[in-house]
Structure 1
Amino acid sequence: MAPQTISIHYHTTRFLPQPDVFIRTSHGTRIPAHAGILASMSPVFDNFIDRPRKHRSSERIIQIHGVPCDAVTAFVGFLYSSRCTEEEMDKYGMHLLALSHVYMVPQLKQRCIKGLTHRLTTENVVDVLQLARLCDAPDLHLRCMKLLANNFKAVEATEGWKFLVKHDPWLELDILRFIDEHETRKKKSRKYRMEQGLYAELSEAMECLEHICYDGCTHVGPCHQLIIYHSAILHHHQLVPSQVLVTVLLHFINQIHLCDP
């Protein structure tokens, strides 16, 4: 049976001659195209088109297998118009990223990375992560890893994760290591924020001590409970900067006890 040739709308205002090359998809469907446009958008196509043909009269055929025919059609359409619809990105975003990487079309690759980033879910993140590794997309890869780390329980229940554990233990190890490092960074960040808050409270307490030193014990009533409160917090969290400061603080607290009416 003869291969089916489909016609596509190229979404361009340029005058186009008759197609001089055909792209054949997995199911034998042929997509007509123009060698000059393909070559100008992709160095891979340029290299292929420059190859001498055995017979000048034979048709130029470019084989693109392994992706749906409609994804190839969307890919060819982008080469003509530099546009990709949201519907095409919804349906074929991962296929288009793979095609843009293989055929070195950076504009489409960036469009796919952005589109897939916005469409990440716990269900598809494992598949997108694997593709991001293969397609040298570090930004997308990092976003996938962060989503995995923040939603690991949900991802762990997906078929994608179960398949990965069974067939790619090295990637599983990389992910688990990243999650461990991510949790460590989060704990350090929380501790740092807590320390900064406590140091701010300590600074406030020290202002009260300065008030005691300059104004005398007769005016320290409002500061009494505040200093004791900050001292208790610092003692509880074990975050006092120095033992000398502890001694001074406790000394003043004892003096306040003696001076209270």
Structure 2
Amino acid sequence: MLHRPRKGGSNREMEIPVLGVPCDAVHAFLRLLYSARCVTLGEEEIVGEHGMHLLVLSHAYGVGWLKRACERVLSSRLTAEGVVDVLVLAQQCDAPRLHLRCMQLLAEDFAAVEQTEAWRFLRDHDPWLELDILQFLEDAHLRRRRLGRRKAERRLYMELHETTECLRHLFKDGCAALGRSGREEERARCPNPVTCRGLRQLVRHLASCDGEKRRWCRRCKCLWQLLRLHASTCTELDDASCEVPLCMYLCNWCCWEINGRT
């Protein structure tokens, strides 16, 4: 537009109307146009001062590098008070990265955003955008719940793996690392002393538990379940070298139970 030839070849100064933004924002926009397409620290302050107006101008005139810089600066300076206005602007100016960052901030601090005047205005005048925001918040909540369940399952699997390793160590080495010396002590060292101590207590309880109460005893059931879990994952059944009690019997019983159900 600046280099377009004037109609009629007149010598009058050409005027380019730029409407809808303050004069300071237009001056900053023109100054940035002649930069090296790389926003410096000083120019970043200018972008931060006129960020929303510069985003509009860079979108309207197709200045992609300046638009990306505006998105980056606005994303780093988002607050709960102004995130709704920036979200509406990002939607109108086709700024997906800025739009996503606004949605993430809404999900992180929606209680504070809900108290702002901008949110009340949006709720009264733009129900479709409000619906999109609420749907995003619901999806974010479901993702957090799924992630929490996966973390809990992973933690449970790790605890069960450590418990089965301690169970194998308990019956193979006797968990008698105390009083040993040299290589024998290194070989018999507990993988997890706390878990191993709890397993020893369960074994002692099973040996001393009353026969009539053992069927309903929760501690006895816990040990039997651990023995079944070990038998279902034991890799020493082929050569019968596993020293965990009833390993072969429980493995055959588990296989029979599975085949019976199928």
Supply the distance in 1 between the matched residues of 2:124 and 2:71 (Cα, whole angstroms): 27
Give 1:68 deviation, angstroms: 0.5
Note if contact 1:208-1:227 (Cα within 8 Å) is conserved in structure 2: no
How far 1:61 sits from its partner (Å)? 1.6
Secondary structure of 1:81's counterpart equals coil
> 1:141 and 2:99 equivalent?
yes
Instruction: Tell me whether 1:53 sits opposite 2:11 in the alignment.
Output: no
Q: Match of 1:235?
A: none
- Aligned counterpart, 2:81: 123
One-letter code aligned to 1:146 = Q
Cα distance in 2 for partners of 1:121, 1:217 equals 58
Amino acid of the structure 1 residue aligned with 2:109: N
**2:53 alignment counterpart:** 95
Aligned to 2:29: 75
Structure 2: gaps of 5 or more residues: 178-187, 203-223, 232-243, 247-262
Please report the TM-score for the alignment, with normalisation by the length of structure 2.
Answer: 0.65
1:202-234, Cα deviation, whole Å (9 max, x unpaired): 0010002212443469999962514889xxxxx
SS at match of 1:64: coil
Q: CA 1:98 to 1:228, structure 2 compared with 1: closer, same or farther past 3 Å?
A: farther
Q: Which amino acid aligns with 1:145?
A: M
Q: Which runs of 5+ in 1 are unaligned?
A: 1-20, 22-34, 37-48, 230-243, 256-261
Larger relative contact order (CA 8 Å, sep ≥ 6): 1
Q: Post-superposition shift, 1:85? A: 2.3
Q: Which one of the candidate residues 222, 225, 243 is aligned to 2:198?
A: 225
Structure 1 residues 105 and 228, CA gap change in structure 2 (3 angstroms): farther
- Three-state SS of the structure 2 residue aligned to 1:62 is coil
Render the CA deviation track for 1:86-143: whole Å, top value 9, x for unaligned.
Answer: 4422321000001000100111111101110111000110011111111111111111
8 A contact 2:28–2:46 mirrored in 1? yes
Q: Are the counterparts in 2 of residues 156 and 162 from structure 1 also a CA contact under 8 Å? A: yes
* Alignment equivalent of 2:121, drawn from 142, 160, 163: 163
2:169–2:175 CA contact under 8 A, matched in 1: no
The one-letter code sitting in structure 2 at the alignment partner of 1:92 is H
Q: Which residue of 2 aligns with 1:65?
A: 19
After TM superposition, the structure 1 = structure 2 runs for residues 25-44 of structure 1, keeping only pairs within 5 Å, are: 35-36=2-3
Look up the SS of the partner of 2:34 in the other structure.
helix
Which structure has the larger Rg?
Answer: 2
What letter corresponds to residue 75 of structure 1 in structure 2? F
Residue 245 of structure 1 deviates from its aligned partner by 5.7
Between the aligned residues of both structures, percent identity stands at 47
Measured after TM superposition, the shift of residue 188 of structure 1 is 1.0
Listed as ranges, the matches of 1:102-113 within 5 Å are: 102-113=60-71
Greater share of residues in strand: 1
